[in-house]
Amino acid sequence: MKVSERLRRDADNIWKRIIEHPFVVELYAGTLPMDKFKFYVLQDYNYLVSAIRNFGIISSRADSVDAMREVIEILYLESESEFKGYEEFLGKLGCTIEDAVNVEPIPVNTSYTSFLLSTSSLKSYAESITSVLPCFWSYAEIAEFHRDKLRENGNRLYTEWASVYLSESYLKLVGKMRGLVDKAGEDFQYKKLKTTFITASRYEYMYWDAVYNTHTRHR
């Protein structure tokens, strides 16, 4: 079994809770209150910027020139198309990039990005590339699992947002990232990778949970 498959299997109970989280379910069904969605999108700015910085660090630690160049390709994609897409989407929500910049990150946002950045700064390349996989991969699985709901979904912003994670280019990106983990993890102590993958998966869950609930409290 490839390392990424094994990791996915060992995190299965957390991933189930992610996929069934009300934020996710309501988003795909079109019933998520718009202010919760807006809150999530605005929080995402800090995550996105940190994730890009993080890929910069990971590229510097890659264990081969080929891996380094693949990570840089992903980094560039994030910094260019992902960033541009994000800014455009903000506009459709009636927000500006300044709104997003000025948003204070909620604790789980700070915690998750701190975890990613301390992993890439201090641990091995294998653990670093593993730590970023749950975010990319779970978005694809969420989309695949709930895709049928989208047909009934009357909220254009939600369907547009979701369509990204169903696109061929996104699936190709996830495939590349899994490939990087499979390669880096081949001769690496599995237990450490598992801890990393599960910790990151847990942050994914906590993130969905926090944006679903924090906002409610803020109203």
Binding positions for a copy of itself, rule: CB under 8 A:
49, 52-54, 56-62, 65, 68-69, 71-73, 75-76, 79-80, 83, 107-108, 110-111, 113-115, 117-119, 121-122, 124, 199, 202-203, 206
Q: How far is the CB of 158 from a copy of itself (least distance, A)?
A: 27
Q: Give 110 or 159: the residue with its C-beta nearer to a copy of itself.
A: 110
Least spacing, CB of residue 14 vs a copy of itself, in Å: 12
Helix (H, G, I), strand (E, B) or coil at 65: helix
> Are the CB atoms for 130 and 2 separated by under 8 Å?
no
Nearer to a copy of itself, 31 or 111 (CB): 111
Nearest approach, Cβ of residue 148 and a copy of itself (Å): 33
Looking at beta carbons only, is 26 or 82 nearer to a copy of itself? Answer: 82
Q: Could you tell me the smallest distance in angstroms from the CB atom of residue 140 to a copy of itself?
A: 24
Strand, coil or helix: 46: helix
Report the residue number, 64 or 216, with the smaller CB distance to a copy of itself: 64
Nearest distance from residue 154's CB to a copy of itself, in Å? 34
CA geometry: angle 168, 170, 174, nearest 5 deg: 115
Toward a copy of itself, which CB reaches closer, 52 or 157? Answer: 52
Neighbours of 81 (CB within 10 A): 11
Tokens of 136: 């990319």
Taking the CA atoms of 21, 205, 181 and 65 in sequence, report the sign of the dihedral they define: positive
Closer residue to a copy of itself (CB): 1 or 122: 122
Of 140, 147, 199, nearest to 170 by C-alpha is 140
Q: Report how far apart the first and last C-alpha atoms of the chain are (Å, whole number).
A: 47
**Angstrom distance (rounded) from CA 156 to CA 148:** 15
Per the CB < 8 A criterion, the answer to whether 180 and 49 are in contact is no
| Minimum separation from the CB atom of position 59 to a copy of itself (A) | 4
Q: How many residues does the chain have?
A: 219
